[in-house]
A and B are shown apart, each in its own frame.
Chain A
Amino acid sequence: MTGIDWLVVLIRVVGAFALLLLATLVNVWAERKLVADMQNRLGPMRAGPFGILQTVADGLKLFFKESIMPRKAEVGMYLLAPFLAVVPAFLIFMNIPWGDSFFIGDREVVLQGADLNIGLLFILAMSSMAVYAVVLAGWSSGSKYPLLGGVRATAQAISYEAAIGLSLVAVILFTATQGEGGTLSLNEIVVRQSGNWGDVHPIFSWVPRWNIIPQIAAFVIFLTAAVAETNRAPFDLVEAEQELVGGFHTEYSGMRFAMFFLAEYVNIFSMSALTATLFLGGWLGPTWEGSLPAFVSGALPTVWFLVKTYAIFFVFVWIRATLPRFRYDQLMTLGWKRLIPAALLWLVLSSVVLAWRQFGAPWG
């Protein structure tokens, strides 16, 4: 490894990490502010201009708070759970490309923590790992409300993981027809969404070639399941303040609680970014190369990525501010009786169409 290699790795990892942390700081504030607006309130407004430093203040407060541990807690698991929550949350984002690649000398730098060829699979694995944190935190707290939260998490996560996986299979199949062979690399998936739909009909030449157009059903299913996967309202049965006090993190305080909190918001941002990457063309967008200064058009892909991510993030917040929490049986009904059959149906439908287009009619 030469110096330039180290620099490249540093840019990729530290860049993604810093972006994620900064975005989380802003997101917590932004969510509180947006929900406040939707509920005719003012939201945080004392710390810094428009209260933008509220998250910093809250974080510092939590950092200095005592971490209380219940006497009946299973010590090892209890201490491990917060880390189990944070680490997968960060690892998910490490796979998401957040900008166009550029060159330092003759070396290509991809703005992505790591461009895994099994990126999507890795993300699914990591989001399943995050469930363990919730389950173990609930179980190891040695208290009944966290246990109930943990039990809910097991069932909820399994139901919606299936829907997420199935809806993504359709996307992967579609992506495979857009280039040379199939791919699970997220950067490749983004690149294959470049261009427009002009080849279908000339009047669509202004429509970007994003996956959301042919995979709209997969998008809806994925978004719904993603809300459930991140344990957000209206699927926040795992935390359910009104029923379970705080759910799985009832017995956590101080920095350990802060880690769960951080993980939740990192997960929201990662899921928004993943949705934008898979369905909205990730960092793709007009850069007007040549007519703008080089550093502006170099930064524009990151801007487009953030714009799309925050559009999805806004939907997350909007849904949270609008919908009441699902009852447990409704959650299960939606997962198993609606989303999974819908995802399967869509998978079959889009496979048939793709095969038809590629190989011709079966009787032909």
Chain B
Amino acid sequence: MGVVKDLLKGLAVTGRTMIGTITGRELVTRPYPHVKREKPQRFHGRHVLNRYPDGMEKCIGCELCAGACPAQCIYVRGKENDIDDPVSPGERYGYVYEINMLRCIFCGLCVEACPTEAITMTKLFEMSTTNREDGIYTKDELLMRPDGTVPHMFPDDPLADLDELETADGWVRATAPGGRAAYEGVKMWAGTPGVADWSPEPTQEERDRRSGE
């Protein structure tokens, strides 16, 4: 009775799934706006323009990000710093900085290209707008405030998740000096949003232990 056997096999699959779902063991679906998944460490979300801890902007207006961008969604214009009141340490700063989020493909090449780690990505991905103009993020939205927090496009939105906005992706940490073996256990200076007090890089053993979990 091959048919009956197959039928029972199929019923067993759905039955097992049902028990797994009810007990929560196999449940993958989450009630999204209420319960959010933990993002992967290097999640590519919304961009942020960072500041140094002293409040200076990191962006030097070099336009390397704009050049690296495959979607050509970044528009930068640099400007000479005023010697008495500089915006960034260096000659120039990003006078105009716009990212068209409707064109951005969130590849992170701008982050790689940036020589000063001025542009990084956060884990925020909920950026839908009712208006195409709102999809173009200017310096007002991108630049972090002097206190290290980042402005949200819709702070009044009940679903606005500021935590994810303040959490940097792991890209900088993976590539910056902080990832070098020589700096293991040394508390690094870092300026991506809200994480000026990053804990030290984990040692290799610690990482092996974690990935083995």
Contact = CB atoms under 8 A, between A and B. Distances in A.
B175 interface: no
A38 B14 contact: yes
Nearest to B22: A37
A322 B14 contact: yes
A45 interface: yes
Interface string B1-44: 00000010011011101101110001111010000000000000
Contacts of A41: 21, 29
A321 B13 CA distance: 10
B10 A322 contact: yes
Contacts of B15: 38, 318
Given A37-B18, A37-B22, A38-B17, A45 B10 contact: no
B14 to A, nearest CB: 4
Given A318-B15, A322-B14, A38 B21 contact: yes
A318 B7 CA distance: 11
Contact of B11 (A39, A40, A42, A318): A318
Given A37-B21, A38-B18, A321-B14, A45 B28 contact: no
A323 interface: yes
A34 interface: yes
Given A40-B29, A41-B29, A42-B31, A323 B10 contact: yes
Given A45-B31, A318-B15, A40 B10 contact: no
A38 B17 CA distance: 5
Contacts of A36: 21
Contact of A322 (B13, B20, B22, B27): B13
A40 B26 contact: yes
A319 B7 CA distance: 9
A36 B26 CA distance: 13
Contacts of B18: 34, 37-38
Contacts of B31: 42, 45
A37 B20 CA distance: 8
* Chief secondary structure at chain A's binding surface: helix
A318 B19 CA distance: 12
Contacts of B20: 40
Contacts of B11: 318-319, 322
Interface size class of A (residues with CB under 8 A): 10 to 19
Interface in A27-76: 34, 36-42, 45
Given A37-B21, A37-B22, A38-B21, A318 B14 contact: yes
A19 B22 CA distance: 27
Nearest to B10: A322
B61 to A, nearest CB: 49
Nearest to B16: A38
B80 to A, nearest CB: 56
A40 B21 CA distance: 6
Contact of B17 (A37, A42, A319, A323): A37
Q: Which of B7, B21, B22, B29 has the most CB of A within 10 A?
A: B21
Contacts of B10: 322-323
A40 B22 contact: no
A39 B18 CA distance: 7
Contacts of B13: 322
Nearest to A34: B18
Contacts of A42: 27, 29, 31
Given A40-B28, A319-B11, 15 more contacts: A37-B21, A37-B22, A38-B14, A38-B18, A38-B21, A39-B17, A40-B17, A40-B20, A40-B29, A41-B29, A42-B27, A318-B14, A322-B11, A322-B14, A323-B7
Interface of B: 7, 10-11, 13-15, 17-18, 20-22, 26-29, 31
The 10 A-B pairs with the shortest beta carbon distances in the complex, nearest first, are A38-B14, A37-B21, A37-B18, A322-B10, A322-B14, A38-B18, A321-B14, A42-B29, A41-B29, A322-B11
25 contacts: A37-B18, A37-B21, A37-B22, A38-B15, A38-B17, A39-B14, A39-B17, A40-B20, A40-B21, A40-B27, A40-B28, A40-B29, A41-B21, A41-B29, A42-B27, A42-B31, A318-B15, A319-B11, A321-B14, A322-B7, A322-B10, A322-B11, A322-B13, A323-B7, A323-B10
